[in-house]
Structure 1
């Protein structure tokens, strides 16, 4: 109903353009809402949009932009306005902003083919990888790394559960900037144990979600220390920053720096096995997983979940905000994933997001790169065509088996029914209202920029 009323209003406002003779003097100018209404009538479809999307937007040379097909017409009319439509169901479309990070499948595949044509053996690939890594660190503004604060982590008392323990930990990664998480460990163990990083993805409830707790607690019961932590301006980080700050380009840098600082701390622990270090994350944390696995050699195995695709570069600036993908004459997330070779890597994909075609093109490319090291078997893909974009039990099961295989974990200890799902407040480092936030903690993105660029 709102769309109908809005269209009528804009049609009335645009009367001079609609009923006066259209010519080049007026640039064949028509209101966007009127043009969309005309397209709906011509092609017998419905286009959904909000008033704000069409308000005060005009189509120049509108009459000249029509083509025989709906797709070509929409492309000609919407592209100059940085708009696009996505098909929701038969004859129903939704108007949206142009997404630089989402390419047509064929274009993404062609780009990966162009990238791959630059090397055909291990020597050429190693040279390419070296070039990419150096450029990526510079693009992230992490070359050289900022000096690390000398402070000790803030650690809460240990909580004991069936087969595992949990402590909440905050690490100061820049002066007054903290990254928070929960460290899960086996209840009983001897000697050194593997380290598994678990960055959080772009789902509600952040690292407090049951699937995060199931995963990290289970990995601990299987014999590893698993650290679950917030993305920047996400979770407990919101004590210092605002939600919109997560979509600033610097978020990509701060998240990478945060993981490096977390590794610094965890690998300094006397019970950490520095030769057995893994990382797994889903969605945006999957993009983060391949990024840090590419730039930090301490990570020995990686498992990005529902994340990596040659035609999707990450839907958040925290994944693509810095010019990392401009490196080497342009790269993409699949080539960045290949930089982990020959270290073992698992890609978990599904049938309802941008990983829907992983087995068809992207995975064979990764096998080829791993083949340069005669290690094609070190990269694997678990594809779940009937599933969607989540970190559900089947995705977790694939990760458990992968981590057990390469980190020497005990699959017999896997039993998610033994995991206690804690309430959110139990996982805070700084108290239910942030009352324990250190006195030197900064507040706001402006202060972060001053600290980082200083």
Structure 2
């Protein structure tokens, strides 16, 4: 590299110091033997918001409407993809025959009720009651889907004597059959000319085979069901595939919609959805996911406050940087009605509804959204139902005369409602049947991934759209813009051949910091290598602050090197001990979704740090000609690969050491490397394939790279992929030499 042109010392200093005043030349001593000298003073942690408290379901979730239709189009597309990834619905599972069974008709004066069994997956069922008008008008009829919500015994719910007496006294109900409020809404809608499907949430009364105690009462991890080859719901393995109860319930809603839309007498242009509480969650999730229903009425659930406390309302990624108000906004411009009560929704009329009205106005449908607070406890009582009837009467064009009033009816008994009998026996609620459902869904996911493995430039684009689209959600951040970061130098050392800087790179809008070492050779060749390791900068920097031999190889060739501590590495650790377990919110139930439904996984947060560093290096006003990324180790390699994919053309060469790691080997739900969805979307091989066509060097995979990687590079018409199968001891030096080749 002797003929490499040199740049003047002033340019070097400007690039590295960014005109920030240099701290006192007296260095800060390292805090532990064997550690690199610190960037920050001893006993000082980075001023990073991520070291503070975690967000949980009880936080505040305000929403700001988009400024324009075009901005909302882009935002809503991303939020919909985020929902689909979180719920295990990106791409949608294979729609297999529902094998619908409709039987056991019960006739009342002016309506009928039939029992319905839909097989929505291998061993997964959606069960419920189908209400019809007994003497319908000629022509096709409107339909309403009714997910019931968290009422004891679901479809079979009945107020006890004391509760119903209080309901009558408070005017929450006014007729004897109001004792059965879930049946009441279905009966009245049928009397208004609608076909109504009231269906079970998982674990409620006829749903099987996952029991209520697991679907809604899960509290402790089950080690015996947390193995790579034998895993149940809520385990690390199910998280790695984004298989969760809220996703299964959303899938049941979609399949229920498929089924009711297929009925010959249903007008598919007039389908409504309504549910309260957890049923309200299902209502707006279905509205966010599916464009087919025409109108939605989620009761007592949409708010800026508590977002849903049940395991069936939470999933990893579900509400990261979003919430229930925005989910409701996803329904627009289709009609949306809401009620609020003396619960977490009580402030709807002042927090949430004004923003939704602004949003609907922007979309040209100001009259299509309404909401009302009613001074009752959490409910779907008669006043709320009356509001819903008027809403659907208007928007489904039912032609009823207002005001609509309920009439008494003869309620159905449990025996008349249950779908299971001798001819149609209930599936056993057993672990083996739970595993059967999950195995079937996982096999379908694997088949979908296999079908996406690229074989041509066109199929590579599809792979990047689907698999890359999922990893984009899982990482949750793009490359920061040039104006988003600042550098603060804490210490510098000037040598004859080398300048070294200890700096903090601060991402301003996110309130995040990255303590970093910069080594800048005097013969800088306008290239920068960002080197990530499992332990942070101490892996590549000696006790005296000088670079280790592998780094020196790059410096001797004129390549500048940046070596950061990522979140919970090095200076992020008060006790210098690596995390044995990921952080979690203060919830006694061992469900990862309560944490990762609102906060990025640690893996993603570390990728964020790498993206910050790539942006800092790339957007220097002195315009480096190349920025390379090296990630060495089972932690750092995958992180560097994910960052390189997200950074796109901002990165030139990429060197990855995987250490043979696979996400599929994780068995602990709070493993710091847990990244929900990683197995579904191809694990490490699937991620490495996304790096194509960047020149890629890979170690830890032997001399034969995974097929999806070689096929992706072939599809990209690139041969710039190299497998290293030499000794572990020589791995770092080999990566550096490859980068220089």
TM-score higher than 0.5: yes
1:407 paired residue number: 396
Q: Name the counterpart of 1:436.
A: 425
- Structure 1 242/304 Cα, relative in aligned 2: closer, same or farther at 3 Å? closer
Deviations 1:358-397 (A, max 9, x none): 011210010011011221111001211x211011111111
What's the CA shift for 1:307?
0.5
| Alignment match, 2:322 | 331
Q: Distance in 2 between matches of 1:449 and 1:434?
A: 26
Structure 2 counterpart of 1:137 = 84
Residues 12-65 of structure 1, C-alpha deviation per residue, up to 9 Å, x if partnerless? Answer: xxxxxxxxxxxxxxxxxxxxxxxxxxxxxxxxxxxxxxxxxxxxxxxxxxxxxx
SS at the partner of 1:264? Answer: helix
What is the Cα deviation at residue 147 of structure 1? 1.9
Secondary structure of 2:207's partner?
helix
Partners of 2:299 and 2:389 in 1: how far apart? 12
Query: In the superposition, relative to structure 1, how do residues 340 and 438 fare at CA in structure 2: closer, same or farther (>3 Å)?
Result: same
Q: Kindly tell me: are residues 308 and 417 of structure 1, through their superposed partners in 2, closer, same or farther at Cα, counting changes over 3 Å?
A: same
Query: Which protein has greater RCO, CA pairs closer than 8 Å, 6+ apart?
Result: 2
Cα pair distance change 1:239/1:449, threshold 3 Å:
closer
The answer for the alignment partner of 2:415 in structure 1 is: 425
Deviation at 1:410, TM superposition (A): 4.4
Match of 1:265 in 2: 259
Q: Distance in 2 between matches of 1:139 and 1:151?
A: 24
Is the 1:234–1:243 contact (alpha carbons within 8 Å) kept by the matching residues of 2?
Answer: no
Q: Which moved more, 1:414-423 or 1:298-307?
A: 414-423
Residue 340 (structure 2) pairs with residue 349 (structure 1) = yes
Q: Distance in 1 between matches of 2:430 and 2:120?
A: 11
Match of 2:315 among 295, 298, 321: 321
- Residues 293-335 of structure 1: CA deviation (Å, up to 9, x unaligned): 0110001110010111112211112112242212xxx111101
Q: Is the 8 A contact 1:349 1:382 kept in 2?
A: yes
Q: CA deviation at 1:165?
A: 0.9
Q: How does 1:120-269 map to 2 (within 5 A)?
A: 120-189=67-136, 190-209=138-157, 210-238=180-208, 240-246=210-216, 247=218, 250-269=244-263
User: Is the Cα–Cα contact under 8 Å of residues 216 and 226 in structure 1 kept in the other structure?
Assistant: yes
For 1:430 and 1:366, the matched residues in 2 are separated by 42
Residues 1:387 and 2:376 are matched in the alignment: yes
In the alignment, which of 61, 71, 75 is matched to residue 108 of structure 1?
A: 61
Is the CA contact (8 Å cut-off) linking 1:289 and 1:303 kept in structure 2?
Answer: yes
Q: Is the 8 A contact 1:241 1:443 kept in 2?
A: no
Q: Larger deviation: 237-246 or 214-223?
A: 237-246
**Aligned in 2, Cα 1:323/1:228: closer, same or farther, shift over 3 Å?**
same
Q: Structure 1's 262 and 420: CA in aligned 2 closer, same or farther, altered over 3 A?
A: same
Q: Does structure 1 retain, via aligned residues, the 8 Å contact 2:333–2:363?
A: yes
Q: How many residues align?
A: 345
Q: Deviations for 1:171-230, whole angstroms, at most 9, x for unmatched residues?
A: 000012111000101111211111100001111121122111010011011011110011
For the residues of structure 2 that align with 1:271 and 1:102, how far apart are their CA atoms?
A: 43
User: RMSD value over aligned CA atoms?
Assistant: 2.5
How has the CA–CA distance of structure 1 residues 417 and 450 changed in structure 2, closer, same or farther, with 3 Å as cutoff? same
Partners of 2:272 and 2:348 in 1: CA distance: 22
Partner of 2:83, secondary structure, is: helix
Shift, 1:234, TM fit = 1.8
Question: Aligned pair 1:450/2:398, yes or no?
Answer: no
Q: Is the Cα–Cα contact under 8 Å of residues 149 and 275 in structure 2 kept in the other structure?
A: yes
Q: What per-residue deviation string (whole Å, max 9, x for no partner) do you get for residues 90-135 of structure 1?
A: xxxxxxxx992112xxx433xx24xx4xx20111111111111122
Task: Give the 3 Å change call, closer, same or farther, for CA 333–264 of structure 1 in structure 2.
Answer: same
Distance 1:356 1:158, change over 3 A: same
TM-score (norm 2): 0.44
